[in-house]
Amino acid sequence: MDLNAEVEAVIATYPDAAKEKFLVLRNLVFEVAQELCVADLTECLKWGEPSYTCKGGSTLRIHWKPGSPEQIGIFFHCQTRLVETFRELYPQGTYEGNRAFVLGLAQPIPARQVKHCIQLSLVYHKVKHLPLLGA
């Protein structure tokens, strides 16, 4: 997948720790998309934030915000059941309302859980009718 120049410009403004976490999370999105054989994954900016979308999936965004400088969030559409499901599957996680899975910049990324959350987002419209989204 080609990297989006607008996204590159946004992450260039992040402090080093946030940039490092962002790049790991972005790579997890690409890895999950490849594992799922998602051919139409698109990287773009939505609301000025790096976003990832594909047919049959729900858009997810990854963004660091100066107002919360010690964390980075993976944001999901707030009217889906995604974050509600993540809370049930991974109660040890940190969440922001019904829209974000929040990760501390100083903490290791729980890759298995994050990959599962990304997977559920990329197939959301295929599994939204299933209990716990089919997890």
Spatial distance between the Cα atoms of 22 and 62, rounded to a whole number of angstroms: 7
Partner residues linked to 95 by β-bridges: 101
Does the pTM exceed 0.85? yes
DSSP-derived secondary structure letter, 133: G
pLDDT of residue 1 exceeding 80, the answer is: no
Q: Of 1-10, 32-41, 93-102, which gets the smallest average pLDDT? A: 1-10
Task: Please check whether residue 117 is in contact with residue 35, taking contact to mean a CB–CB distance below 8 angstroms.
Answer: no
Domains by residue range for the chain, with CATH: 5-134 (3.90.1150.200)
